[in-house]
Structures are given as C-alpha cells and as structure tokens.
Structure 1
Amino acid sequence: MNFIDMFAGIGGFRKGLESNGHQCVFSCELDNNAIKSYISLYHMNEEEIASMKKLNKSERDKTLENLRRQHIFDDITKFDGMSEKEISKIIPKYDVFCGGFPCQPFSRAGRRNGFKDKNKGNLFFSIANVVEKTRPRYVFLENVKGLLTSGEKEEVVKNGKKRVVEIEKGKTFKEILYELHELGYDVQWQMVSSGHYIAHNRERVYIVARKRGNKTIKRIFPLQENVRRINKVSFEKDTQVAYKDFINSIKSKTLYKFKIQENDMIDLYTNKSFNFNTKSPFGYWGIMVDGLCVTAKTKYKIAENEFKLIDVLEDYYKIGKRYDLSEEEVLKQRYAKKAKEWKSGNKMGNMAFPDKINKTCRTLTANASGREMMVIGYYFHEDGELHYINEIKEGLNQFNQEKELNELVSQCPIDSKVNNESNGLIIIENELGEEVHLKKSEIKFRKLTPREYWKLQGFDEEDFNRAKIVGVSDSQLKKQAGNAVTVDVIKAIGERL
C-alpha cells in the first residue's frame, strides 16, 4: 500500500513499513535537522552521499535544501484552511496516513496540557483535517502511553498550598475516538513496549483506524497474540468475540464497554454517560466498531534478558574515552537521578546508576543530558580485558541528604558514601553475573553514543553513517533518536495491515 509519512522525524514509520513492501509517496517534517537525516536516508543514493564528504558546510546545506524542496513538505497545519481539491494537488492518492504526532502535551514527564497545549496539543485536529479531506483506508498513529490517561487540569488548595491536579483522566483519548468515529473509522489500539522486539523498553500507544465498510474486521492487536478476524454483527451481539482469543491475558475486573455517540461516551454497564474523574477507563488494549468500544488492561511481560543493552554497545577500542564522564559529571549524575517531582506535580522515583546492561534499556528521550542521560559503567580486569558493570551492589550509593548541586560538587568527594564494611572497595556485579570488588579509581562511566541511540531505535549502521556524513551533530542525532518511532514495532504492525 501507499502511505504518507507525517511528523516524519528520521523515518521510523517509513523504514518499518517499507521493509514490508509498502511505499512512501509523501513526507512532512518541520525540524530542519531531522529533515537533513531523513533526506540522507531516503532521498540520496550512494554516489550522492559520497559526494557530500567533499563539500564544505555551506555547500552541503545548499544541496540538502534543494532536496528538501523537492521531497519534504514542512508543516501539516498549512492544510488546515485548504479545500479537498487544494490538498489533493499536494498529497498524492494514498492508502495509509502515518504519524507519530508530538507527545509532549500528553507525557507524564511534561506539563500534561493535552489538547490545550497551544503549540503541539491541537495537532491531532490537523491530522483529522487531512484524513477527512483525503479519506485513506487506514490511519496509523503513535504516541506516549500517557495519551490514554491525559485529561483536564484544575488548581486546588491543599494544606494551604496551591497545586495543579489532573482530573477527567482519559477525556483526551475519548475525544480522539470520537473524532475518528465521526470521520467513519473503526479503531484498534495497544500499548506496546519496543522491548518485545529490541533492547529498548519504550512503551508507546499505537492506534490503527480503518475506514468502515467491510463486514469483517482484521484485528491488528494484541501483537503478541494470534488473533482472528471478527464479524461486525457478531461483535455487536457479543463483544467477547473481540477478545476471546486472548481472554487469559486480560487482568480481572478491568474490562470496560462503552458507546460513543454525539460526543458522549455511554457506559454500557450503567447505561449512563461515563463520569471521567481521577482514573482513565482506557486500558492498554481496545477496539471500537461503529462506536461500540471495548477496552481492557492486558498482561504483558518482556521475556527476561531476551534483548540486552550490552548487545548494541560499541567497541570501546573504536570510541576510546571520548564519551567518558569526569568525576564532577559522575557526581552530578548521581544527584540528578535522585527522586524528582516535575512542575506538573508528577513524581519520578530514583533512577538506576549506572544503567543496567543485562536487560533492555530504559526509554530514550529527546533530552540526552541531565537526569535522562544514559550512563554505563565499565572497568578493566588485571589482564587488560574490559568488563561492563551491570549493577553497583555496594558503594557509590545515592546521597541520603538533600543539598544543592553546587555544594555537592564542591564538598562531597566522589567516594564519600562508600560503605565502611566494604573496606573502601566498591562491590559490583559485572555483565557475567560475577561479584567483583573494585577501587573507586578502577571504575569508569560513559554516556551512550549517538550510534547506540540509533541502534536502540532499530536503525542500522548505514542509516547512522548517512546522517553523520551530511553534517548532523551528535546532540541532534541523539535528540532525533529520542523522538523517533521504533522501527521494529512499526514493522511488526505493518505485517498485519
């Protein structure tokens, strides 16, 4: 099928779907640095890439700008005021609308302003506008799992202090279902972790909407189950046909049934409008057919140690000490990874330091510095062999008292919290599961490299090298990977379309 790649980034949707034989016929992206990477991956042949090495920055940028004008549309909101005829002159006929629309308005790490976010929250309605005027067979979207719980905010006073709390949780997703229903689409969704396919525990909601019309529905989700087509008439009579294939995967007492009608959501257990409050009704899996909706929290577990961060790490002897942290940076990282409370009121617990290498890594973000920095530890055995640290079992613990960062950097020696019982040694577990006693000076820490970031999102060596050759900086390469859609998950869903 032909698809369009909206909010394209570096092309996670494109790479995943093209691996299944689907063809991209239109791309849209606003970020100039992401556009450079995208062009290098999909709109330059080997000779053109090789020629870029001989050009200076000005010449490279001019070449890339010419290619951008030929291949990339810049802003989806430009379609908002256009007619169907005007849009058809820009976007060719296609089958699948793809888009990982901006997640910040719905993320628990952000302000959670949802559709009220002035810059990015209303972009779903720009999607709806294009879908309404182009009528594709499928709409394929991706966003953070917080999309399922995002609601409204109100200011309350508690214990004499003002605090912003979130209410009507799930109302944002209800609006999305309503819009797609009104546009004539049946909808399926699932929260999927990339860790089922690659060494990266990235939990995202994937939404597949299909234009109504067929008597049967090909189910896409859950990806981890072999599910059969369902008949619409059978579904209307008994919604269990939508989940009987995997009923053992549904957590008890979490099955909800609704009817979307006239911008309202009727709870089919009470036959009344659903009262959105402090808990979202939308589970990790769901399906909506002709406005009739069933959703449930499903059990899912990543196979232990099936995919490991260590498997994507670069050879130390190729990268050297370039990404090593100084002692001051190590201290800052230990402090930054303490429990935090965001401005939105959302709390975050302690983060591991260093990151474990014998399991899937935690979610990559667009911000590769501060608290979100991925850090791994390593040391050299007495025979010169390099080993990675999977876990620090004793010593170099988190600080026990809250202090300002500048005080910590100036006053606390790096090994000030080493447990006395360890005789000044730090006890670690290495990648082999062995317990090892080391001196503080023997342990080194480094950031993940941009290349490792790209690999953890399913992009290969050639993809990364192409983006590097056209002049994209390391910081932008990491940011692009943090914003990307995981290729392997898109590929798995594309196989079911």
Structure 2
Amino acid sequence: MYRTVDLFAGIGGIRRGFELTNQFETVLAAEIDKYACETYKHLYGDDPFNDVTSEEFKEKVTRIDYDVLLGGFPCQAFSIAGKKEGFMDKTRGTLFFDIADILKRTRPKAFLLENVEGLLRHKKGDTFETILKVLVQELNYTVIGVRENSLVPEELEYNSKDFLVNSKDFGLPQNRPRVYIIGFDKNRYGSLTTDLAMKELPKKRPGEPMYKDLNDLLEFNANQEYYLASGYLQTLKDHKNRHRGKGNGYGYIVVNEKGIKNPISNALLATGGSGKERNLVYDPQDGIGGTVVKGKQTPLNDEGIRMMTPREWGKLQGFINYGFVKDGVDQFSFPSKISKAQQYKQFGNSVTIPVIEVMAKEIGNTLDKLEAAIQTKTSNDIKTEVMS
C-alpha cells in the first residue's frame, strides 16, 4: 500500500480516485477553504485544515513517511528570473513553488499534479515550460511525456497536448480537459524510470461509459427552484444576441437542446453564474411555466429551461453514483450546513474521480515495477559483493 499526501485537497476528489484502486492510503491532507474542509472531514473523517505555504506544514510533511505527492494548484504568473536564478526561483511566491519545495525536501517516489487547460497557454507556454524544467532539471524527476535533449541538455522535448486528459473519455458526459503532470523520482530509480515507467498518460477509461449521454445522467422533472425566471432568461438571451452581433460566441448554452445527438455538458466551473449558465438544460414539465416562486423577480419561464442541480454536477464529477458506492448503496452526502451555492462551488472546483482512478492505477502499477526492479538490483548487488 502506497501512502499519499493530498495538497490543495478540496473535497478530496484526487484522494478518492487513488483510494478506489486499493493501492493507496492518504496520510496527510492540506486545504484552507473552511467549507471544503467541512465536507472533506464529513466524507473521510480527517480534518485537512493545513496551509501548504506555511513552514509549519512543510515541516510536518518532512516528518511523514509517504510515497506519492498529489495536488491540483492554481495557475499563477511567475517572475522574470535574473541571470543567476534557477527556474525554481522564478516560481517564488506562487503555490507551485511550495509544491516544488515540498518535493525537494521530501523526495516522494512519485507525484501527480492537476491544473486547468489554460496552464498550457499561460504566458505563451512559458509558465508550463518553467514548471517542467523545475521538475525535470532541478528536482531530477522523470516526467511522463517529457524527453531530455541529449544534444542540448537545457532543452526539453514534449508536446503540450500529451498532458491533456478529458473527462468525456472516461465514461462521463462532461467536456472537461485538464492538465496532468506525473513524475517518478530519478534519484531513487535512475534509468529504470525510462525503461519501466508508463510511457504516456492514459487518455481513456476502459469499458462501457457510465452514461449513454447527458440525458441519461440528468434527473428530469426537477424541483421548480432550479428553473430560470422568465425575466432572467430574457436577459441571458439579450446578452447572447449582443455578443453574437459582435461576432462573439459568448452566452448561455442549453447543453441538451432538442436536436443535439448524444449531448454532453461543458466543463463545470467553481464560479457561480458562468458555470451554470453554460450548462443549462431542457427539462419541460407541466405546471412550471408562469409559476411565481419566492426569491425570483419574475414568473418561471415556459420553455422548460433550468440549471442543473448539485446532484447532477456530483454525478458529472463521479462523486455521486460512483466514487462512494459501497455494497450497491451510494454513501456520498454533504454536511447539512453546506449551502447549495457551496455544493456547486465544491463540485466545480474538484476533479473527475474516474479520471483520477485510471491515473492512479497506472501510477501504482509503475511503482510496483520500479520497486520490484530496485529490490532485484539490490539482491544482485549483495550476491556480487559476497562472491567477490
């Protein structure tokens, strides 16, 4: 069983994906959002409240015996380095620097880092390249998808698209491309990482999809509170028409609109309005249109358009109906005091659990091979020494 440390843990999506493989156990977590901490504690029984940037937490990690560092981290701008600075110095003041600092101090056998697709384009790719150079050249990890140039050692060879993995290819109807960076400790394994490590990131989940399409996942005849007020819907239409007139594609989207074959959702976002408005759904039912609902300024729309529910977001991320099913019973729940707004935020901020599970299996299998090879090499070295 490999032991993991879970940074920027949110509500534990990465943790859950790893634990589903039965190859990993979590020994420490870090999260500073108080509402996410409440949900995390509710789900796992552990309080993750720790600040990754603090010296106190970093010292705590150095005292932990663990194997794999996990974490999603915000994409932040790096400084312009002076001539004598290394690439790691460029990242000072960012959360990636704190990840790199913990890697340097504790040398885990492997790591998995997750980020948004925009990381690849940030600063025209310079940010992503700096991250890779820190991991490969300064910390001496083999990063999957990166080749070192034997002729020009300071240059790395890679295709940034190789780091993109999309939830829609892992059994869930959500278009959610995310960047994954996986590495193995070259100090420990040497050239074995080249010979035995996984060659590329898994891009697909084996087996049948969990849902045929978005309509198969949606829970139709939703409560009237999720339907848009007619005035609000008209505002969204006017906004979309204004942008369309300027040649822009901004605006609300009904993702399962009539005529769409095999509909899927857009990426769920932690931000309130935009994450919901680009994932509206068509769910007509009698008695909804024209209904006056407390808290809405105008009656409900008569087109059957509503927001997705938090439960549906939870299904799209693999928390509900997958990640916490035990003996046929779904055991996922939020603490009673977590508001619906927080539920949307927490699911939108999280990862898609089945994606992580597939990644974790590959990491676990690679570590098994590397550790077995290390043990064989050690045994052979001892035999050679005895014979000599």
- TM-score, normalised relative to structure 1: 0.55
CA drift of 1:466 comes to 5.2
Give the helix-richer structure, 1 or 2: 2
What secondary structure, in the 3-state scheme, does the structure 1 residue paired with 2:266 have? coil
Structure 1 pair 336–470 and aligned structure 2 pair: CA distance change class (3 A): same
Report the Cα distance in structure 1 between the residues aligned to 2:308 and 2:165, rounded to whole angstroms. 24
Match of 2:177 in 1: 203
Does the alignment pair 1:363 with 2:235? no
1:307-326 → structure 2 map (5 Å cutoff)? 307-316=212-221, 319-326=222-229
User: Structure 1's 478 and 441: CA in aligned 2 closer, same or farther, altered over 3 A?
Assistant: closer
Instruction: Tell me the alpha carbon deviations over residues 346-372 of structure 1, each in whole angstroms, 9 at most, x when there is no partner.
Output: x96235632226322101101231475
Aligned residue number for residue 219 of structure 1: 198
RMSD: 3.6
Structure 2 residue runs without a partner (length 5+): 80-90, 146-162, 289-296, 325-329, 364-388
2:176–2:268 Cα contact (<8 Å) kept: yes
Q: Is the 8 A contact 1:142 1:204 kept in 2?
A: yes
Deviations 1:62-84 (CA, angstroms, capped at 9, x unpaired): xxxxx63xxx242100038966x
Quick check: 1:179 aligned with 2:158? Answer: no
Q: CA deviation at 1:176?
A: 0.6
| 1:282-297 map, 5 Å | none
Superposition map of 1:97-176 within 5 A:
97-103=69-75, 105=76, 114-115=77-78, 122-151=94-123, 169-176=124-131
- Superposed CA offset, 1:210-248 (max 9, x none): 11114314225241489xxxxxxxxxxxxxxxxxxxxxx
Which residue identity is paired with 1:211?
Answer: D
Separation in structure 2 between the aligned mates of residue 470 and residue 220 of structure 1, nearest angstrom? 44
> What does residue 268 of structure 1 align with?
none
The 1:356–1:220 alpha-carbon spacing in structure 2 relative to 1, beyond 3 Å, is farther
Structure 1 residue runs of 4+, over 4 Å off?
80-83, 303-307, 336-341, 461-467
- Pair 1:77-2:49 in alignment: no
Q: In the TM superposition, what are the counterparts of 1:448-467 in structure 2 within 5 Å?
A: 448-460=308-320, 467=333
Offset, 1:444: 1.7
- Corresponding letter in the other structure for 1:326: A
- Distance (whole Å) between structure 2 residues aligned to residue 469 and residue 441 of structure 1: 32
Q: Deviations over 1:152-207 (max 9, x none)?
A: xxxxxxxxxxxxxxxxx111111111111211101125201100011111000111
Q: TM-score, with normalisation over the residues of structure 2?
A: 0.69
Partner of 2:367: none
- Residue of structure 2 equivalent to 1:327: 230
CA pair 9-307 structure 1, distance change in 2 beyond 3 A: farther
Shift of 1:492: 0.9
Larger of the two Rg values belongs to structure:
1
More strand, by proportion: 1
Which residue of structure 2 aligns with residue 394 of structure 1? none
Unaligned runs of 5+ in 1: 44-66, 106-113, 152-168, 227-302, 342-346, 387-409, 415-439
Instruction: Name 1:41's counterpart in structure 2.
Output: 43
Task: Write the mapping of 1:245-256 to structure 2, written as runs, cut at 5 A.
Answer: none
Structure 1 match to 2:350 = 484
1:349 paired to 2:349: no
Question: Whole-Å Cα distance in 2 between the matches of residues 338 and 100 of structure 1?
Answer: 36
In structure 2, the CA distance between the partners of 1:441 and 1:37, relative to structure 1 (3 Å rule), is closer
Alignment partners' CA distance in 2, 1:129 and 1:348: 42
Residues 142 and 207, structure 1, Cα contact 8 Å, conserved in 2 = yes
Query: Would the alpha carbon gap of residues 142 and 370 (structure 1) be closer, same or farther in structure 2, given more than 3 Å must change?
Result: closer
Counterpart pick for 1:470 among 313, 336, 341:
336
